[in-house]
């Protein structure tokens, strides 16, 4: 299977070109590029190198990101150094090993922003890139889009194809980072490189070109949530498709043994957690229904859609499908809630097409972040719209979020240890809260 071909990618290019008249009048000069880094960062800006659990300024020829006294990922190492492309130290090399997330971020020394509005229409983010190793790593590029707003463009497949081939020029349309509501008048992060896993790469000659020509594709955010595709992350490539095959085999085994699967849970890592931290609660409350948990860590709506279209709810006739998805659309992309809801609506349609007798119990996306913040607010906006998808005949909506939060709206570490995923106690709360509604929907 060609994963590149299955992904939704649109090449954004500057299509408006100036044509000089036939007279001797000369074409106006293109606006100058905004140089972000040429041997050193632009005045008033600096490079920050981060690991999942630490960070450090690139304030020496070579640095290693420090770790806390009791690291959660003790094996990870993130290092950066000044290196050379056209001159001795005009590039920056980032090395990372077993890293959950390593970043190279261009940030202001003091509170400052760039106004990129004039460059947004035809502008490009351009830099030279040398990927030395990416076989066990992932790569994304990020740009700020206003206060509390960052957008990413994935580069995993292209990056792995470029590994070991030397320097290449990358040009991304600024439109790749634009969404409704973006504020490019106050960009506090004009560039960041985000990597995972183990790898090494270097960048040089970073700039914003007001009238540039893009040479690199980026997903179309307007259709990304509804375009079926496997999950393409460095940490998912080895297990995602094998897990899909394993789930097909699990469903087959139920069928061949004559066991009726009455309930299926569909979602992301929180649903997958029913097989781990939530196993005991799952056995107590749902095993009697021969329930199947179709949860895949990291999934977005489009990844679930791909799985449904490739057989994960075929070969059985569940009475109820419990669906919760969308927090990765928020966390990874800070997606417009309407776009995420469109993806969820598409999943409901796919379930109806394949299992017309199945009732869908649509769960509100659980709260995230210890206290209310940007990502939780996006999820709450999604939940408000999700309630409107319930017709009380085939689709039903249930919000369990109050049961997972404290009275003041904060999350507790004993329910959500990382402010996103449930603990054993958290799964028990969900199972007990969910059971009365589930039992009603299982009735004829």
Active site residues: 269, 418, 421
Write down the H helix ranges in 298-405: 301-309, 327-333, 337-354, 374-386, 401-404
- Between CA 105 and CA 58, with CA 66 as vertex, the angle to 5 degrees is 35
**How far from the centroid of its chain's Cα atoms is residue 2's Cα?**
21
Q: What whole-number distance in Å separates Cα of residue 388 and Cα of residue 197?
A: 40
Distances in Å between the Cα of 244 and the Cα atoms of 241, 316, 351, 397 are: 5, 16, 17, 27
Distances in Å between the Cα of 142 and the Cα atoms of 187, 211, 343 are: 12, 20, 23
Q: What whole-number distance in Å separates Cα of residue 269 and Cα of residue 260?
A: 25
Write down the H helix ranges in 103-239: 117-120, 156-162
Answer for the pair 132, 177: CB distance below 8 angstroms, yes or no.
no
205 token code pair: 């000659």
Half-sphere exposure of 349 (CA within 13 A, CB side): 9
Q: What whole-number distance in Å separates Cα of residue 395 and Cα of residue 372?
A: 28
């Amino acid at each position: 299977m060609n994963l590149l071909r299955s992904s939704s990618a649109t090449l954004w290019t500057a299509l408006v070109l100036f044509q000089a008249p036939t007279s001797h009048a000369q074409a106006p000069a293109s606006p100058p590029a905004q140089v972000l880094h040429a041997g050193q960062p632009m005045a008033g800006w600096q490079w920050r190198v981060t690991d999942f659990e630490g960070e450090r300024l690139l304030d020496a020829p070579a640095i290693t990101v420090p770790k806390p006294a009791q690291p959660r990922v003790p094996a990870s190492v993130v290092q950066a150094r000044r290196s050379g492309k056209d001159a001795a130290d005009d590039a920056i090399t980032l090395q990372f090993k077993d890293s959950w997330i390593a970043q190279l971020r261009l940030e202001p020394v003091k509170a400052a922003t760039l106004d990129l509005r004039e460059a947004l229409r035809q502008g490009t983010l351009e830099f030279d890139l040398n990927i030395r190793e990416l076989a066990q790593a992932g790569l994304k590029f990020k740009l700020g889009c206003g206060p509390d707003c960052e957008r990413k463009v994935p580069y995993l497949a292209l990056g792995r194809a470029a590994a070991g081939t030397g320097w290449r020029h990358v040009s991304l349309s600024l439109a790749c980072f634009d969404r409704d509501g973006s504020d490019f008048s106050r960009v506090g992060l004009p560039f960041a490189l985000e990597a995972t896993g183990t790898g090494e790469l270097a960048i040089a000659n970073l700039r914003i070109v007001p009238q540039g020509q893009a040479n690199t594709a980026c997903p179309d955010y307007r259709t990304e949530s509804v375009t079926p595709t496997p999950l393409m992350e460095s940490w998912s490539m080895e297990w995602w498709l094998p897990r899909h095959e394993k789930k097909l085999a699990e469903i087959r085994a139920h069928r061949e043994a004559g066991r009726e699967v009455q309930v299926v849970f569909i979602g992301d890592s929180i649903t997958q957690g029913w097989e781990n931290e939530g196993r005991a609660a799952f056995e107590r409350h749902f095993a009697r229904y021969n329930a199947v948990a179709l949860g895949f860590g990291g999934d977005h709506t489009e990844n679930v859609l791909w799985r449904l279209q490739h057989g994960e709810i075929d070969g059985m006739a569940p009475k109820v499908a419990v669906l919760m998805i969308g927090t990765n659309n928020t966390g990874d992309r800070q997606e417009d809630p309407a776009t995420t809801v469109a993806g969820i609506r598409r999943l409901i349609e796919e379930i109806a097409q394949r299992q017309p007798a199945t009732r869908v119990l649509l769960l509100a996306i659980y709260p995230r972040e210890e206290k209310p913040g940007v990502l939780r607010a996006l999820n709450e906006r999604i939940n408000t719209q999700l309630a409107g998808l319930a017709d009380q005949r085939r689709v039903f909506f249930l919000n369990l979020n109050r049961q997972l939060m404290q009275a003041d709206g904060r999350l507790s570490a004993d329910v959500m240890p990382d402010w996103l995923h449930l603990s054993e106690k958290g799964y028990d709360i969900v199972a007990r809260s969910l059971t009365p509604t589930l039992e009603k929907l299982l009735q004829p």
